[in-house]
Amino acid sequence: MRRKGALAFMIAVLVATLMPWYPMQAGAAAPGLFAQIKKQGQVTVATEAAYYPFEFVDNGKIVGYDKDVLDAIIKAWGIKLNQLDLPFAGILPGLEAKKFDFVATALLINPDRAKKYAFTMPVAQVKVGLLKRKGDPRVTSVSDLSGLVIGSGTPPAGPTVIFMHYNDTLKAQGKGVKAQKMFASSPDEFLALSNKQVDAVVDSTPVLLGAMRKFPGVFELVGTFGTPFWVGWVTRPDNLDLRDAINAQIRKLRDSGELARLQKKWFGYTMEIPDSGYLPPGAIR
């Protein structure tokens, strides 16, 4: 009886020891997030719909370039979309807290973000530009902003960060801005510009050109500066299967010419979207 008891105890210990790794050895890994999304038949996505023409609200609905790209992806997946319109400040923290599955809003692919989040391949490439009130003789060049008050988004907005570095160079030459005012959204920037609270506005060129189309005869593009930057969406770093599934659809849209059509529709020009080389060193891959 004692031998039987000891044998039973040893078997129990062995089973408990083997259980943590046996399912992995047997290939019974837990399904990834994309598989779960497909099984559930729906996905929850976060957007800040205040960045015309990438994403904005029109007649109570989210529309724009990113929205059209997202809708095409969701249609290909054959599932339901639950899209949340949230303030930008809460989007990335909300992703980390697993309040939604991924973020589909225009995000600059910069080193800091790329180390924390898994970026998709780019959906756009843009430059940073300077917009003024049409005919304002005081704003003549992006290379001399002396005495001007410039409006921008709040960090970590990509165009704002790029402009701050650019302004440091101008200040060393005695050509930096008088002051920089930051706003919560691009509509707030353009309202401040039209009300003469600021002399010019810094943002990505598609957004500035979009404002010119939306308010014809009101604004004028002064010029662009800095190197172009890539814009993409993000998933959590442990959901690379979902990131890769998004990439597969973006690539199909690009190769079919649909992505270029949407770029022409919303920006007035097309962009070359690469398969590689867009992620900075140290990025999650």
What are the pLDDT digits (tens) for 38-93?
999 999 999 999 888 899 999 999 999 999 999 999 999 999 999 999 998 899 99
The confidence score (pLDDT) of residue 25 equals 41
Question: What is the H or E stretch that residue 226 is in?
Answer: strand 219-235
Question: What is the H or E stretch that residue 240 is in?
Answer: helix 240-256
The answer as to whether 152 is a domain residue is yes
- Tokens standing for residue 16: 């408990």
Q: Give yes or no for a contact between 237 and 284, defined as CB atoms under 8 angstroms apart.
A: yes
> 133 with 112, same domain?
no
Which is more confidently placed, 126 or 122? Answer: 122
* 8 — pLDDT class (breaks 50, 70, 90): very low
pLDDT digits (tens, 9 = 90+) for 157-190: 778 888 888 899 999 999 999 999 999 888 899 9
> 46 with 118, same domain?
yes
Q: What is the DSSP letter of 90?
A: G
Q: Give yes or no for a contact between 107 and 231, defined as CB atoms under 8 angstroms apart.
A: yes
What total number of domains does the chain contain? 2
Owning domain of residue 65: 36-124+231-267
> 74 with 41, same domain?
yes
pTM equals: 0.76
The answer as to whether 278 is a domain residue is no
> 120 with 139, same domain?
no
The answer as to whether 173 is a domain residue is yes
> 64 with 99, same domain?
yes
> 186 with 202, same domain?
yes
Token pair 């270029």 in the structure block, residue: 260
Say which amino acid occupies 88: F
The answer as to whether 4 is a domain residue is no
Q: d(Cα 162, Cα 229) in Å, to the nearest integer? A: 10
Taking CA atoms, 37 is separated from 21, 61, 85, 249, 258, in Å, by 26, 24, 20, 15, 25
Neighbouring C-beta atoms of residue 78, cutoff 10 Å: 8
> 119 with 137, same domain?
no
Q: Give yes or no for a contact between 151 and 186, defined as CB atoms under 8 angstroms apart.
A: no
Write the CATH number for 155. Answer: 3.40.190.10
The answer as to whether 275 is a domain residue is no
> 242 with 224, same domain?
no
- Tokens standing for residue 56: 């904005």
The answer as to whether 1 is a domain residue is no
The answer as to whether 116 is a domain residue is yes
> 224 with 132, same domain?
yes
> 61 with 198, same domain?
no
> 70 with 197, same domain?
no
Question: What is the H or E stretch that residue 135 is in?
Answer: none
**Planar angle of CA 254, 237, 260, nearest 5 degrees:** 10
